[in-house]
Structure 1
């Protein structure tokens, strides 16, 4: 075995091990965190906030990503089993569903940024756009629009033979060769990372501008309701850190997709294929953090979120303590009952 073959084998082995490790970590800790997100964003103190509704529905789609997409990736990488590479129906529906599930949460966070801008405006007509009813309508429009915008994948995705990281010709689920592969790379970059990220940054800057112009944001509630104003501030801070993670996590993957589409017709040796696979896996793994880390970001940056989390923990401990005490009392009563022999 030549030194090049040894290098290729080392790269591919390392990639598989790292992908499996990070995917399992994201599956366990991401899943636990997202379940807590659902419990917290449905609490009375946060449930009525439009921004919380965006966070909640974003969490639902992230749960699908963690509990469906990540396990499929673990099976594919760890056991080299991906039915999408051998069955056309699974190929089309799997990739279509996965693209939708990854994209919608980013747009929901972008609209949450827009909601923060509307709510921080000094103009009452603009502030009124930030409402629970409008948030529900916007979420429905986002879901339907993303499904329509990706619907062409059901037509143009097929199983074709490509060279894998070992230099072997294998079946894989890809878009049709030619212009469509370049189009889908641009399309995914625009919908998944570029447009949502730009909107997040735009509305984030506009919100900061509103806050600088008005030291005290004009709320939609009476001035003496300090709790709601404080909740708004905490939600804005949580949102800012979520935006930062999404931008950092999604852009490298989109850039790689563009590179792959532009170089698909260039002959590549096994070493280059292994290096490109390494770059792809790193970029792809980064996207997982955009979908799995929200709970930990919110806990670190939002005191209102953190308080609700601790309330849930205390209530659970209290219920367990009551249940344990009742069980002890029942055992004690049974032990005190007279026995008849």
Structure 2
């Protein structure tokens, strides 16, 4: 092997190791703190009674679980302390917990998008389907289906593997292909497509509602009673909350597409080309890209709090202020 290739391989491997060692710590800290704050804030009474906020709350729990089960081991692997690479049952348990959490987080956001569409519909039958009871049902069904989808991990994943992107990975080509395909299609592509479809439908409904409100405000400027004024004020506050929650959701969907789709495509590519003979330099580069795309998915799990704080407007920021006053400033 030429000395230039040897130097390049060492450089790529060193970059991959440093990314896992240091970038993982940054994502872990910001993601863990952000999701914990999300859980506390979204648990407040003014937000937890909203079905969309409930989906955000459970999704934040799933995101926190994904970070703890996935990033903890990646940080340790940078210091050669990752026991999931050598202990078989830990490898299986970690992989199952990670895939379950990721799938649940993705599907819960999909349900939140569908809930926003239901609430924006003119038909009262659809609006009445947006309830906490249905939100709890959707959450339970999501966890159940996610468990069924990835229970095969206990058979497929194995520790101490070589010539694979990770030492804890699918033990056969068939296992890797099925797992990668289900992850790419069911955890990433399917919920993303549903989110985009229902997101666009919600935008269309919101525009229609704004037009109706504008017309009603012009025709209804004549004197009204105090009770109708109070009722309209409450409805306006509720609609403002609903619009703001949808905006928060829409921003999160866009960023999730950017951060998760590359890893889904990369996993499929590595599995489909695993039978081809690769040079050591190509393998080193592919491992670097794999690690980079994988860490990008953890950014997606750690970013919701910062998205909500930026895009949530006064509603979310007021909830943060209430939290600070309640627990810090007494």
Q: What secondary structure, in the 3-state scheme, does the structure 2 residue paired with 1:318 have? A: coil
> Do the aligned partners of 2:65 and 2:98 also contact (CA within 8 Å) in 1?
no
Q: How many residues align?
A: 311
Gaps of 5+ in 1: 166-170, 320-341
Q: Which residue in 2 is equivalent to 1:325?
A: none
Tell whether 2:28 aligns with 1:33: no
Q: What secondary structure, in the 3-state scheme, does the structure 2 residue paired with 1:129 have? A: coil
Tell whether 2:202 aligns with 1:207: yes
> Do the aligned partners of 1:122 and 1:217 also contact (CA within 8 Å) in 2?
no
> Do the aligned partners of 2:21 and 2:75 also contact (CA within 8 Å) in 1?
yes
Q: Which moved more, 1:256-265 or 1:7-16?
A: 7-16
Q: Which moved more, 1:307-316 or 1:93-102?
A: 307-316
Tell whether 2:245 aligns with 1:274: no
Q: What secondary structure, in the 3-state scheme, does the structure 2 residue paired with 1:80 have? A: coil
Tell whether 2:305 aligns with 1:311: no
Take 1:195 and 1:134, find their aligned partners in 2: how far apart are those partners?
21
Task: Return closer, same or farther for 1:121/1:217 CA change in 2, 3 Å cut-off.
Answer: farther
Take 1:164 and 1:51, find their aligned partners in 2: how far apart are those partners?
40
Matches within 5 A, 1:80-99: 80-99=80-99
Q: Which residue in 2 is equivalent to 1:178?
A: 173
Q: What secondary structure, in the 3-state scheme, does the structure 1 residue paired with 2:283 have? A: helix
Take 1:272 and 1:299, find their aligned partners in 2: how far apart are those partners?
41
Q: TM-score, normalised by structure 1?
A: 0.86
Task: Return closer, same or farther for 1:54/1:122 CA change in 2, 3 Å cut-off.
Answer: same
Q: Which portions of structure 1, spanning 4 or more consecutive aligned residues, are displaced by more than 4 angstroms?
A: none
Task: Return closer, same or farther for 1:137/1:216 CA change in 2, 3 Å cut-off.
Answer: farther
Take 1:117 and 1:246, find their aligned partners in 2: how far apart are those partners?
19
- Asked which structure has the greater CA Rg, the reply is 1
Q: Which residue in 1 is equivalent to 2:238?
A: 228
Q: Which moved more, 1:308-317 or 1:241-250?
A: 308-317
Tell whether 2:114 aligns with 1:114: yes
Q: What secondary structure, in the 3-state scheme, does the structure 1 residue paired with 2:329 have? A: helix
Take 1:67 and 1:95, find their aligned partners in 2: how far apart are those partners?
12
> Do the aligned partners of 1:242 and 1:297 also contact (CA within 8 Å) in 2?
yes
Q: Which residue in 1 is equivalent to 2:301?
A: 291
Gaps of 5+ in 2: 214-229
Deviations 1:77-99 (A, max 9, x none): x1233333323222222211211
Tell whether 2:290 aligns with 1:301: no
RMSD: 2.0
Deviations 1:147-200 (A, max 9, x none): 0011122223334642267xxxxx933324233322221111012211111111
Q: TM-score, normalised by structure 2?
A: 0.89
